[in-house]
A and B are shown apart, each in its own frame.
Chain A
């Protein structure tokens, strides 16, 4: 691991060196901030706050072609995934989310699409100096400067960025821009530490998850599930925008004789998700679906993969149209234990 310094005056030059390499960065599109490709002459500014749309679509596109074929023919052509990319400005929570989702996509059988995209992407993180109102990453093993999943971490020190390499991929990226960097001295490392601890102090929300994974089964029939889901509209926002939600549907699309089988994000908050063709639905109401969402993240995933499938990014809280709040649900769960 090395720690280098990039003076912000050199930012446009730094970006210029990376734009030819399929660089993506946060961009405001309409009302929503999301990751988008950076054009040749564009110099993205990294601003406070996280993207509304999580970067999971980089490795798990909202709609992904699995293979193409011609109707009436049996030859299936898989898309070739080979272009490397750099994701600049991913927040630590979202990188941690990828590490969590990796476990599922490599469980027993490898998912070739996801794992290939993961291999091709270099994650350049940006430490958070202004956490959002509903961030609670520090409750779940993350933090504003957590490096889990990142190849390189950038820390905003005012007039410069501190660049900490984490992996060989991060080293490789730094070596390509080395003439723009200088070695960081201990003064700067101290500044980083101060910034991180101040940032941690700004995180106001927390979840005490001790005992929750083991305790959830005992609360299966608890009345809390009905009350916490009473106002849910079943819109699926909380899951679409969750960086650890990975469920998908598979559909065939045809246009003339050209056809493809693709997969697309799906949500356990939708009624159709579990609906059998017979009409039977094992999760008939929002109570069961909300209970599943919380159990999946805080119990089932822990059982299978030893980690809570929530990174505390706060998106599901920020964006739920009826203010359903996972921190509050977990508080009630804890109380009911």
Chain B
């Protein structure tokens, strides 16, 4: 990521780590800070963008930047343990180095949404790209009419960013609705699937932007229900995920139809997405 070579990553130091969820495919969050001061100050990401993070000798993976630039001069990544690279990343502890290049992709056009009500609908690790939007709106509270967040996972243990929700529901104009698939003892929130919860809440489409990220099956039903609620294609945003290597529109790997997800995406409005042939493949 030098001016001459976009493939060269920067080094960053892991400052804090914690587990969001447990199990085989647990999600660990890393708070990292670039080692070079110039990189730190010049780095500028927007909500919805991603970065290639990795370890020299192992490889790189595309991961959503799960913090808003308004939070400070650090980055957060919430990584699900999947294959080679993500397993190696999971071994990093505070003080260890991580390689980072980016930021990549387009972003949620948050500044075009001033004055609007923002609704986020997330499932599982899909909350990672939504979290920066939530934080951005919180930091610029006066510019938005309000924010409603719907977030669900299989079990309460599969929800990310748990400590952050209570505080949120206390703030004016912000509301947070959590749901899990099946009842658990002591769970004081909704039980049921995310798309159903959306219908039950019955949000008005008027002056509202909705962003949804999560497993493909969830997205499909959320889109269906948004249509039932009267949302227009232009009001709906989501992100796509495809296998990636370069992150800069060269390796050819990430295309969905004629779109390179790493450059033309990952954020798409449904108005664009519905005409991309492979978008929901």
Contact = CB atoms under 8 A, between A and B. Distances in A.
Nearest to A278: B82
B252 A252 contact: no
A107 B243 contact: no
Interface in B96-139: 97, 99
Contacts of B6: 109-112
A262 B84 CA distance: 17
Interface residues of A, number: 47
A259 B56 contact: yes
Contacts of A99: none
A273 B243 contact: yes
B243 A247 contact: no
A247 B252 contact: yes
Contacts of A66: 7
A217 interface: yes
A69 B256 CA distance: 34
Contacts of A277: 82-83, 86
Contacts of B7: 66-67, 112, 261
A112 B4 contact: yes
Contact of B243 (A217, A254, A275, A292): A275
Nearest to B86: A277
A263 interface: yes
A268 interface: yes
Given A254-B57, A259-B57, A274-B243, A248 B278 contact: no
B252 A109 contact: no
Contact of B57 (A71, A105, A296): A71
A254 B57 CA distance: 6
Contacts of A82: none
Interface of A: 66-67, 69, 71, 74, 76, 78, 104-105, 107-112, 217, 220, 246-252, 254, 259, 261, 263, 266, 268, 273-278, 280, 282-283, 288, 292, 295-296, 299-300, 303-304
Given A69-B57, A300-B258, A303-B258, 16 more contacts: A74-B99, A107-B249, A107-B250, A109-B249, A112-B7, A220-B277, A248-B250, A261-B56, A266-B252, A266-B253, A274-B242, A274-B253, A283-B278, A295-B257, A300-B255, A304-B258
28 contacts: A67-B5, A69-B56, A78-B8, A105-B250, A107-B249, A110-B6, A111-B6, A111-B248, A111-B250, A112-B5, A246-B250, A247-B251, A248-B246, A250-B60, A250-B245, A254-B57, A261-B56, A263-B245, A263-B251, A273-B253, A274-B242, A274-B243, A276-B243, A277-B82, A278-B82, A283-B278, A299-B258, A300-B258
